[in-house]
Amino acid sequence: MPRRCMSVLGALGLLLIAATAWAGGPVQTLVLKEGQVFQVTLAANHTTGYKWMLAKMPDAKVVKLVNSEYVPAKPQAPDGKAPVGAGGQEVWAFQAVGPGRAMIVLNYARPWEKDKKPAKSRSLEVEVR
């Protein structure tokens, strides 16, 4: 199997592991090697004002945030536009930096509602070996 295909399959495996860990159950641990990049995809709807936000930055010696982006739902209407109020997904990419453990905690909330509890929260422990 070509090296590029193996990388893609490896990345998909990490995505599946991360998706399972974020199902809302108990905190699970994602074990990675130094340098590995993984993504977490969460359903979101920015039209409501809610967005996923890091509760705090994870330990930078262990894992770092590479990128985050909102991907709106694909248009399904005959005119090629997404329906009003349609949601999408937030994709968060992280990289394992060095050995240790770090927690990634994301809260789904409206940024201006500082004193209100988040609508949802997801936690993932990352262990880098």
Each residue's pLDDT tens digit, 25-34: 567 899 999 9
Does 19 score more than 50 pLDDT?
no
Nearest to residue 90, comparing CAs of 126, 44, 128?
Answer: 44
* CA 66 centroid distance within chain: 11
Give me the mean pLDDT over the 92-117 stretch.
96
Q: Which residues contact 6 (CB under 8 A, 6 or more apart)?
A: none
* % of the chain at pLDDT higher than 70: 77
Structure tokens at 33: 């090697």
Query: Which pTM was predicted?
Result: 0.76
CA angle 58, 44, 24 (to 5 degrees): 60
Mean pLDDT of 11-23: 45
**Gap between the Cα atoms of 99 and 32, Å rounded:** 9
* 23 against 5, higher pLDDT: 23
Backbone φ and ψ for 36, nearest 5 degrees, come out as: -70, 145
- Amino acid of residue 16: L
**Confidence (pLDDT) at 17:** 44
